[in-house]
Amino acid sequence: MSKTVKIKMYKMIVTAVVLSRCETWAMTEMDMKRLSTWVRKILRVIYVSVVEQGIWRIRIRLELKEIYKYLDIVADTKKKRLEWI
């Protein structure tokens, strides 16, 4: 599967499921951290590891943010909550 297909699936399925009824959640700081970590793990699978000087390494948060342009699903949940009020 190509990266563009995986990104479309992520946007359509994962984001939709996470944001489904999020306006009724009681999110703690730890929940927000776990949600952000989970999203980064998914994006690391989509944007596989890179080779630098013959050594494989995973992409860091800033690289994912640069490639994907938007990582903050926690902000999306907060924005959706404000729309609901």
Nearest residue to 67 (alpha-carbon basis) of 47, 49, 84: 47
Domain ranges for the chain, please list them. 3-84
Mean pLDDT of 49-72: 81
The predicted pLDDT at position 71 comes to 63
pLDDT, tens only, 13-57:
888 888 777 777 788 889 888 988 888 888 888 888 788 889 888
Which uninterrupted H or E stretch holds 33? helix 29-46
User: 72 vs 45, which has greater pLDDT?
Assistant: 45
CB burial class (10 A; 0-12, 13-18, 19+) of residue 63? Answer: middle
- The pLDDT of residue 25 is 77
Is the model's pTM score more than 0.75? no
Better pLDDT: 70 or 8 = 8
